[in-house]
């Protein structure tokens, strides 16, 4: 019997807007994002920046989380992410604000960007157009205009890379050109292993999709700074696959969530567990191996995925690229269109009707 995930022509019928190709073409997207950001004209940015705030929602906001994680050991300034209409009180003239909205119409982001500007913050707009682009142009702000036409979650390169490039150009962080090049090379190599033409028995992305199918995935990041990678998996499972999923991170989860795994079999058996890690050493190795041992003994499928790369940017994408492919394949197994976001659109329509 031919595996469902190897019936390529049938799978294409489930993906009329071709989310698969958006995932496959991520390396080229990252290259283009860097090119656009290096060529953007920098305007009205203070030379006394001492903190960074990233504004965004959903797929547009995760770039801020990535910035925070990748710069964990490098940045001499704090990096915060704001998913709200309002702003923290500390935003002022020494704050660099990245307002990121792929569509340019995200209400929360636009509101908080305008508030940031009114407080004298230096605002950089990263968008494909819309109201946010107009706001940047009207106020002579730095604008990184990215290509339109994608689902925001599939535009992770476009919403992530520009902030690194702008910070580099301002002299606030080291050059990221080699890191970006390494990331692109890694992704180009890895997609040849994950692509749809590779049969299931040789394709780890398809195998992970099968492991998650008819289960509830739980994703654990082995380091707190990489909780963004686990969160990316969770969100991709939610939006692409239309599946519930949950995430947490070490060592914090060993002080609370570990006890949930003592639940009765009826609660535990529907779960599947994925560990994301860069390395396993010392106490952390003991923590992971202990949980793997206890959870596997309960009959729960467990999968470990290790980051690759010589820099944090490559490591992030190496942790998440597998998930991007696997969640599209999981959508196919569940007979779902990986592009569609029915409930999200219905909710936006209801809010719009209520406010009109």
Annotated catalytic residues are 239, 255, 348
Question: What are the residues whose beta carbons fall under 8 Å from the beta carbon of 318, sequence distance 6 or more?
Answer: 186, 190, 307, 308, 309
Burial group, residue 336, by CB count within 10 angstroms (0-12, 13-18, 19+): middle
Q: CA-based Rg of the chain, rounded to a whole angstrom?
A: 21
Closest CA to 69 of 321, 317, 316: 316
Distance CA 331, CA 329 (A): 5
| Side-chain-side CA neighbours of residue 131 (13 Å) | 10
Residue found under tokens 């998996």: 233
* DSSP β-ladder status, 216-221 and 79-82: unpaired
Distance CA 230, CA 303 (A): 13
Residue found under tokens 């960007």: 113
Phi and psi torsions of 267, nearest 5°: -85, -40
The CA–CA distances, whole Å, from 198 to 5, 74, 332 equal 10, 38, 15
The CA–CA distances, whole Å, from 156 to 71, 89, 292 equal 17, 29, 31
Distance CA 341, CA 242 (A): 9
Is the separation of the CB atoms in 191 and 180 below 8 Å? no
As a 3-state breakdown, the chain gives helix, strand, coil percent values, each rounded to 5, of 55, 15, 30
């Amino acid at each position: 019997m031919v595996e469902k995930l190897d019936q390529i022509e049938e799978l294409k019928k489930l993906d009329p807007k071709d989310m698969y190709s958006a995932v496959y073409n991520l390396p080229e997207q990252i290259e283009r994002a860097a090119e656009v950001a290096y060529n953007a004209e920098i305007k009205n940015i203070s030379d006394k920046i001492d903190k960074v705030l990233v504004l965004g929602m959903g797929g547009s906001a995760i770039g801020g989380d990535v910035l925070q994680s990748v710069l964990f050991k490098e940045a001499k300034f704090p990096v915060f992410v704001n998913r709200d209409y309002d702003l923290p009180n500390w935003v002022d003239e020494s704050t660099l604000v990245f307002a990121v909205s792929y569509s340019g119409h995200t209400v929360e982001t636009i509101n908080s960007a305008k508030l940031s500007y009114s407080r004298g913050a230096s605002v950089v707009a990263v968008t494909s157009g819309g109201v946010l682009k107009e706001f940047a142009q009207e106020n002579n702000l730095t604008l990184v205009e990215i290509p339109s036409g994608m689902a925001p979650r599939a535009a992770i390169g476009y919403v992530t890379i520009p902030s690194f490039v702008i910070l580099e150009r301002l002299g606030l962080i080291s050059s990221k050109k080699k890191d970006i090049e390494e990331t692109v090379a890694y992704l180009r190599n890895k997609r040849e292993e994950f692509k749809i033409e590779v049969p299931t028995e040789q394709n780890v992305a398809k195998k992970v999709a099968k492991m998650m199918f008819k289960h509830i995935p739980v994703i654990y990041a082995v380091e707190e700074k990489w909780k963004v990678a686990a969160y990316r998996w969770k969100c991709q499972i939610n939006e692409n696959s239309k599946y519930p999923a949950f995430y947490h991170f070490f060592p914090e989860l060993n002080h609370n969530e570990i006890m949930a795994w003592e639940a009765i079999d009826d609660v535990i058996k529907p779960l599947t567990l994925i560990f994301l890690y860069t390395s396993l050493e010392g106490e952390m190795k003991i923590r992971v191996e202990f949980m793997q041992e206890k959870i596997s003994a309960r009959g729960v499928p467990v999968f470990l995925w290790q980051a690759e790369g010589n820099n944090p940017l490559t490591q992030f994408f190496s942790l998440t690229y597998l998930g991007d492919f696997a969640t599209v394949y999981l959508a196919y197994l569940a007979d779902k269109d990986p592009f569609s976001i029915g409930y999200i659109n219905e909710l936006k329509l209801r809010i719009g009707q209520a406010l009109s």
